[in-house]
Amino acid sequence: MFYTMAGIKSLAKDTAIYGLSSIIGKFLNWCLTPLYTYLLIPEEYGVIVNLYAWIGLMLVLLTYGLETGFFRFANDPDKGNPQIVYATCMISLGVTTSLFLGLVFGFLNPLSDLLQSDAHPEYVAFIAIIIALDVFSALPFAYLRYRLRPLRFAALKLLNIGLTIFFNIFFLVICPRIYTNHAEWINWFYNPDYGVGYILVSNVLTSGIVLLMLLPEIIHIRWRFRFQLLQQILHYSFPLLVLGLAGMLNQNFDKILYTYLVPDAAEASRQLGIYGANAKIAVVMIMFTQAFRYAYEPFIFARSKGEDKRTTYALAMKYFIIVDLFIFLGVMFYLDIIRYFIDPRYFEGLKVVPVIMMAELFSGIFFNLSLWYKLTDRTQWGVYFSLIGLAIIVAANLIFVPRFGYVACAWAAFACYFAMMFISWIVGQKFYPINYDLKGIAKYMGVAFILYFISIWINIDNLIFRLTFKTGLLAIYLIYLIKKDLPLNEIPILNRIFHKYN
């Protein structure tokens, strides 16, 4: 039991270190949402939501599962030398990314028509450059995680966000003010009518600088390429590519095709902007899941031969759900304040926030469950689950979006991730049974949902009293947690105090 808890504490430490960059970075990136929503009308913000959905999809396609494949092969001495594994993957990414850039620039105008960006074909060019730079940065970041260099990883991730914020503020806030008073100073590079385009320009500049900072991880390695090794990695990673594509489509299918599902293009962009802005509120939950993933994936492969591994995985799942439920309650209880991170023009979409957050909870649980098919090399099951989820979300969007709008998008995501989570658990218990504390998890979910519905049923008009009441409800959840699974004397500082006075 001691070793098991030591494993959990090690995972918690790594999650905290990697999470520093992920949580702070995503929080700062989240802070761009008010900048965009207060400066851009929903129709303009909808364009950004659509374009970045395409970026997310292409990033998955062009990395084709090599990050997880690298971890799998680099941690197994029988698979190959880690340096050769890394170099082989980097060369493969370099070739495919170059081909991608050539195709995009060769067919720039047709692609602009397809993406409904014919008025600004350079948007497609910017997107392609952003994708290429980020794809080629993906493996160096994975290499930092493999070499257990969380501080450099965190510093570069924070630099990425810092530069993104700087360039966005520069182009969207500072330059317009300078142009108003001294247009001659900046009219050689700044066009006040370009608007949304400067968000893409900011991303290009940021991604380019971060890639330059990653050069030590790119040039200071032994460049060796093993085609047979690449075949083995691709054989392992291909199901993960399909899984990743299906997963990304599950997240972004609605945002990619929304403008095609709603007849009026302007209204479609407006609704998509509202939906995308409100979905950003759920980033609080997503950023914890991402931080957990950075530490958890290397953790499960490194400990895959440990005798206590299944107990450790079960505990990790339980604490993950406990924290996610706390985040859900925190966001929902203080939504009266948090909602002002977006412009009031977007408030009509607040009704989708709890639905999206629960969908993200199911998605995080599904990720935790995915360890069984990764460890047993049955990654094809991940493909099956994601394709089932994709079928649900595609059907729901095609059928219900034309009638119910973006509300249908949120419920489609809810149904998609719940189905994937449930089916993965059922099948996983057959191939890699883990004794999850289902009773304890169910109690936490029950407590959280009861508290949430109480907060809805009891209507308090005064904002101060309402927030005070909801703070009390959140305190009840924490008291339950402390009583059941977090004894105060297990916390180092309180433990020293406890021993001092006893």
pLDDT for res 498: 43
Could you read off the pLDDT of 264-288 as tens digits, one per residue? 888 888 999 999 999 988 877 777 7
Q: Is the pLDDT of residue 306 over 60?
A: no
101-115, 371-385, 468-482: the lowest-pLDDT one: 371-385
187-196, 276-285, 480-489: the lowest-pLDDT one: 480-489
CA distance 427 to 298: 23
CA distance 492 to 268: 53
Helices 2-30/283-302 angle, 10° precision:
140
Contacts of residue 461, defined as CB under 8 A and 6 or more positions apart, other chains included, come to: none
Could you read off the pLDDT of 387-420 as tens digits, one per residue? 899 999 999 999 999 999 999 999 999 999 999 9
Eight-state DSSP code of residue 370:
T
Classify the C-alpha dihedral 319-321-323-326 as positive or negative: negative
Q: Is the CB of residue 157 less than 8 Å from the CB of residue 21?
A: yes
Q: Is the pLDDT of residue 250 over 90?
A: no
Say which residue, 172 or 367, is predicted with more confidence: 172
Q: What amino acid is encoded at 377 in this protein?
A: D
Q: Is the CB of residue 86 less than 8 Å from the CB of residue 139?
A: yes
pLDDT for res 171: 94
Q: Is the CB of residue 140 less than 8 Å from the CB of residue 207?
A: no
pLDDT for res 239: 76
Burial class (CB in 10 A: 0-12, 13-18, 19+), 30: middle
CA dihedral 344, 346, 351, 352 (to 10 degrees): -140
34-43, 281-290, 331-340, 461-470: the lowest-pLDDT one: 281-290
Could you read off the pLDDT of 128-140 as tens digits, one per residue? 999 999 999 999 9
Could you read off the pLDDT of 56-67 as tens digits, one per residue? 899 999 998 888
Contacts of residue 440, defined as CB under 8 A and 6 or more positions apart, other chains included, come to: 318, 484, 485
Q: What amino acid is encoded at 478 in this protein?
A: L
